[in-house]
Amino acid sequence: MSDRKIHIPGRKLEKLRPGQQPVIRLTPEAYDALMEITNESSLSVKMVASEIILQSRDCIVYDREKE
């Protein structure tokens, strides 16, 4: 897509309950990219990943199937 947005399929998952810590698995390519970014930062891996996700929320388009 050339609209400079992040396109992902839409679906619903439960939010975490208070006090829960999430476990997220990444592809090897995504992990390596995250490590490259983290190595250039003074933040932890957790904080870098969190910032990327929170700052990119306006760039996400949910591609939902039409019913």
Q: What is the pTM of this model?
A: 0.72
Contact 60, 8 (CB under 8 A): yes
Q: Is residue 53 part of a domain?
A: yes
Going by C-alpha positions, the residue among 13, 9, 5 that lies closest to residue 60 is 5
Say if 1 falls within a structural domain: no
How far, in Å, are 18, 56, 62 from residue 21 at the CA level? 9, 21, 25
The 10s digit of each residue's pLDDT in 7-60 is: 888 878 888 899 998 899 999 999 999 999 999 999 999 999 999 999 998 898
Number of structural domains the chain divides into: 1
The parent domain of residue 44 ranges over: 6-11+20-63
